[in-house]
Amino acid sequence: MGRFSILSIDDLSCEDIQNIIDISFSMDEVLGRDIKKIPTLRGKVVALMFFEPSTRTRISFELASKFVSADTVNFSTAGSSIEKGESLIDTIRTISSLGVDFLVIRHNKEGVPHIVAEHSDISVINAGDGKNEHPTQALLDLFTMMKRKKLKSISDMKNLSVSIVGDILHSRVARSNIKLLRKLGVKINVVSAYTTLPQGIDKVFDIKVKNFIDEEVLESDFIMALRLQKERHAAVFYPSDREFNFFWGLKEEQILKLKDRVIMHPGPMNLGVEIMPAVAYSELSAISEQVRNGVAVRMAILFYIFRGGKIGID
C-alpha cells in the first residue's frame, strides 16, 4: 500500500479535509503572486498516468506539480510498452523503479488506483476511476463552494444545501461529492431519471432523491449539473438528448431568475444537453472558478501528501 494515498473520499478524515482546504487558500494566494511557485517539492517527481481522456484534471495536476517545484512525467498508453504486452502492474513497478514519488492515475476501470497503490510503495492519487470516484474533483468543488460563501471552516458547510442533477448512476463526481458533502452534514438532493439513479442511494447516504427539478432544488444554495456519461452507458438510459434537456437540463427560464444561487458543473459540458450556454456563462455560474480552483487544490493535495499530513506553507 502507498505511504499516503488519496484513492477515495473515505481515505480522508474531517481534519484532513480542513487541512487541505486551509492549504488550498494559501496556494490560492501563491497563484495570485507574480512568481507563482513555492520550492517545497523540489527534486520530487510526479507521474501523470491518464488511461482515459482529460483536459482539466491532467493539466491542473501538471501545473500544480510545477508550481510546487516538482518535476513531471506524462505517461500515455500509446507509445508505451503496454502496446508490447506489458501489464499495468509491471508498468507501475517500472515507473516506481525509475524514481517517481507521486502517481496520479485516471482509468476507465473502477478500482485500478487501489490496485496500483497495493502494488507500489509510492503515493497514489485517484484522478477518476470509471464511475467510482473522483476525490480531487470533490475537494475542488468544496473549495469553490467555500470561497463563494466566504467560509473558512468546513463545519459551516452543514447549513448549506446542494442539488446534483443528471446522470448520477455513471458519475464518479456525484459519488465523491455526495460522500464528501455528507461527511460535512450538507443537505443533498439528487435529481435524475429513475433509470440513472443508483438504487438505495437515499438510504445509504441519507439524501433526498427526486425525479424532476422542483422548487426545493431551485432553492438549493448550489445546483450542480452533470454530463450524460455516454462512454459508460451499456444501454439506452434516455430516449434522446433533447428529452434529457427538456426534463433535466438547466435552462435559462428556470435558472436566470434565481438570486444568490450558484450553478456548478465539473466539466466537460455538453452545452444544450445538461446545461444551456446562457446558464453556463451566466453570473450565477462558478464553472470557470471550479477549473481555476483545481490548480490550488491539487497543489494543496501534493503538498499535504508530501508533508505526511502536516500543514504550514513555506
Query: Among residues 5, 8, 57, 196, which is the contact residue for ligand CP, using CB under 6 A?
Result: 57
Binding map of ligand CP across residues 249-278, x = CB under 6 A, - = no contact: -----------------xxx----------
Tell me whether residue 137 or residue 163 sits nearer to ligand CP (CB atom): 137
Tell me whether residue 6 or residue 209 sits nearer to ligand CP (CB atom): 6
Tell me whether residue 38 or residue 139 sits nearer to ligand CP (CB atom): 139
Provide, rounded to whole angstroms, the least separation between the CB of residue 58 and ligand CP. Answer: 6
Query: Among residues 56, 233, 292, 307, which is the contact residue for ligand CP, using CB under 6 A?
Result: 56
Residue 54 makes contact with ligand CP by CB under 6 A: yes
Which are the contacts of 29, defined by CB distance < 8 A and separation ≥ 6? Answer: none
Cis peptide bond upstream of 135, omega within 30: no
Cα-to-chain-centroid distance, residue 200? 23
What torsion do the CA atoms of 74, 72, 133, 269 make, to the nearest 10 degrees? -70
Provide, rounded to whole angstroms, the least separation between the CB of residue 291 and ligand CP. Answer: 8
Tell me whether residue 185 or residue 268 sits nearer to ligand CP (CB atom): 268
Residue 13 makes contact with ligand CP by CB under 6 A: no
Provide, rounded to whole angstroms, the least separation between the CB of residue 67 and ligand CP. Answer: 18
Site for ligand CP in 114-133 (CB under 6 A): 128
- How many residues sit in the footprint of ligand CP (CB under 6 A)? 10
Tell me whether residue 101 or residue 133 sits nearer to ligand CP (CB atom): 133
Which are the contacts of 279, defined by CB distance < 8 A and separation ≥ 6? Answer: 250, 251, 252, 255, 256, 263, 285
Tell me whether residue 58 or residue 187 sits nearer to ligand CP (CB atom): 58
Residue 74 makes contact with ligand CP by CB under 6 A: no
Provide, rounded to whole angstroms, the least separation between the CB of residue 304 and ligand CP. Answer: 20
Tell me whether residue 187 or residue 298 sits nearer to ligand CP (CB atom): 298
| Helix axes of 14-31 and 287-306: crossing angle, nearest 10 degrees | 110
Residue among 144, 135, 136, 154 at smallest CA distance from 18 = 154
Query: Among residues 13, 55, 94, 153, which is the contact residue for ligand CP, using CB under 6 A?
Result: 55
Do 40 and 68 touch, CB atoms closer than 8 A? Answer: yes
- Binding segment for ligand CP among 32-40, 49-57, 80-88, 241-249 (CB under 6 A)? 49-57
Cα-to-chain-centroid distance, residue 154? 17
Residue 232 makes contact with ligand CP by CB under 6 A: no
Residues that bind ligand CP (CB under 6 A): 54-57, 128, 134, 137, 266-268
